[in-house]
């Protein structure tokens, strides 16, 4: 089922929450929606599910206008951010729920429902839990049951709104791998909401970054990492070092900065901002540089360094401890980034025209 969204807008009490969303989700794709809290991820999912209606725009799924259909008619599988199973029902009955409440004419026979539930229990690796109640399950097991319940109706589209949000990191990692496998077996077109970038990249074919009701960029992990479309995405992707620079002939220049490893861009001459990740900056000893090493901490794997800049600003630099050249407190170093994103101040202010910069 291909999902095509065009010009979708939504306001609550005159506050715009979605400001013109254009998005195509390919048939069978697992797409992650990534963005900070309040950026409109859940609202977009609820509109696709038919739990909320947009003010304007189109939602077409497999050629059909979904805005003309009720939530029931859309056959969506939805696992919510804060999902509650029915506490008085067993796992088996929870999974069967969506099938057993169908109107008589559309309801499968009891034997067929039982078979579907058995298949799902097997797929989700929770056969041994079939007769338990939700209170007798761990958080991760409950999320599997919630997913089983969403899958039981053979959904045309599967929507997952931070389904693992409440679980601890190790369990999330297991469930992620397992969800990927389930997706490969079922082939449902799936939208997965998260605000954890690692989760988004590990799971998804493509990632959509949302900020303040807009789609800022769509791409693979490599696209977003190497060529963030705007400062917001650059920061969101961990480029937390921001250097004020001068752009001349497409290159960033500043005292103590050696940008020679970065490709030339089409950025216009003038003031700009260079976004860097702490782990992609090499330090070259240079007595003429204003950047001075002020702090050095080892985590075993990495050296976490702090450099003090010409205007008193501090930036973090991370080096792999075993392969890092020796560095010493109070010495001065030139910054030599291997990857970076350069935006002219106009673009940085408006978060508009991207100036791409990637090897």
Ligand X SMILES: Nc1ncnc2c1ncn2[C@@H]1O[C@H](COP(=O)(O)OP(=O)(O)OP(=O)(O)O)[C@@H](O)[C@H]1O
Residues lying near ligand X in the complex (CB under 6 A) are found at: 12, 17, 35, 37-43, 81, 195
Integer Cα distance of 207 and 217 in angstroms: 8
Residue span binding Mg ion (CB under 5 A) among the ranges 36-44, 164-172, 227-235, 241-249: 36-44
Q: Which is nearer to ligand X, 47 or 259 (CB)?
A: 47
The residue with tokens 């449902």 is 188
Q: How far is CA 8 from CA 33, 60, 215, in A?
A: 16, 11, 11
CB of 41 to Mg ion, least distance (A): 5
CB of 71 to ligand X, least distance (A): 16
| Pairing relationship of beta strands 341-344 and 270-276 according to DSSP bridges | antiparallel
Q: Which is nearer to ligand X, 81 or 353 (CB)?
A: 81
Applying CB under 5 A, what is the total number of residues that bind Mg ion? 1
Integer Cα distance of 61 and 260 in angstroms: 48
Verify binding: residue 42, Mg ion, rule CB under 5 A. yes
Integer Cα distance of 198 and 36 in angstroms: 14
Q: Which does 307 bind (CB under 5 to 8 A by kind): ligand X, Mg ion, none?
A: none
What is the number of other CB atoms lying within 10 angstroms of the CB of residue 285? 14
What is the number of other CB atoms lying within 10 angstroms of the CB of residue 270? 11
CB of 39 to ligand X, least distance (A): 4
CB of 275 to Mg ion, least distance (A): 27
Q: Which is nearer to ligand X, 35 or 50 (CB)?
A: 35
Q: Which is nearer to Mg ion, 90 or 194 (CB)?
A: 194
CB of 230 to ligand X, least distance (A): 18
Contact predicate 307/314, CB 8 Å: yes
Q: Which does 340 bind (CB under 5 to 8 A by kind): Mg ion, ligand X, none?
A: none
Of 180, 142, 149, residue with least CA distance to 76: 149
Q: Which is nearer to Mg ion, 42 or 289 (CB)?
A: 42
Phi/psi region, residue 332 (left: phi>0; alpha: psi -120 to 50; beta: rest), is beta
CB of 53 to ligand X, least distance (A): 12
Q: Which is nearer to ligand X, 41 or 273 (CB)?
A: 41
Q: Which residues bind Mg ion (CB under 5 A)?
A: 42
């Amino acid at each position: 089922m291909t999902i095509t969204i065009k010009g979708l807008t939504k306001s609550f009490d005159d506050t715009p929450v979605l400001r013109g969303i254009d998005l195509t989700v390919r048939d069978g794709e697992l797409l992650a929606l990534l963005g900070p809290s309040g950026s409109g991820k859940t609202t977009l999912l609820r509109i696709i599910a038919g739990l909320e209606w947009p003010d304007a725009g189109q939602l077409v799924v497999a050629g059909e206008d979904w805005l003309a259909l009720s939530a029931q008619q859309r056959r969506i599988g939805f696992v919510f951010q804060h999902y509650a199973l029915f506490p008085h029902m067993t796992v088996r009955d929870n999974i069967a729920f969506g099938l057993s409440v169908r109107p008589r004419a559309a309801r499968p026979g009891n034997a067929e429902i039982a078979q579907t539930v058995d298949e799902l229990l097997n797929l989700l690796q929770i056969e041994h839990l079939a007769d338990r109640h939700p209170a007798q399950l761990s958080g991760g097991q409950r999320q599997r049951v919630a997913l089983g319940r969403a899958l039981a109706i053979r959904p045309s589209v599967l929507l997952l709104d931070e389904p693992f949000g409440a679980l601890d990191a190790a369990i999330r990692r297991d469930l992620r791998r397992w969800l990927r496998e389930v997706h490969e077996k079922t082939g449902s077109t799936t939208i997965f909401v998260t605000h954890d970038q690692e989760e988004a990249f590990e799971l998804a074919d493509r990632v959509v970054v949302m900020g303040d009701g807009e789609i800022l960029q769509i791409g693979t992990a490599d696209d977003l990492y190497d060529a963030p479309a705007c400062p917001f995405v650059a920061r969101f992707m961990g480029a937390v070092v921001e250097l004020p620079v001068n752009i001349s002939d497409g290159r960033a220049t500043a005292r103590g900065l050696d940008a020679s490893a970065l490709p030339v861009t089409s950025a216009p001459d003038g003031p700009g901002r260079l976004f860097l990740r702490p782990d992609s900056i090499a330090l070259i000893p240079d007595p003429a540089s204003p950047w001075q090493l002020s702090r050095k901490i080892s985590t075993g794997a990495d050296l976490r360094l702090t450099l003090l800049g010409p205007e008193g600003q501090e930036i973090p630099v991370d080096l792999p401890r075993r392969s890092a050249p020796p560095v010493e407190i109070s010495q001065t170093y030139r910054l030599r980034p291997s990857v970076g994103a350069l935006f002219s101040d106009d673009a940085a202010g408006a978060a508009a025209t991207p100036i791409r910069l990637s090897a």
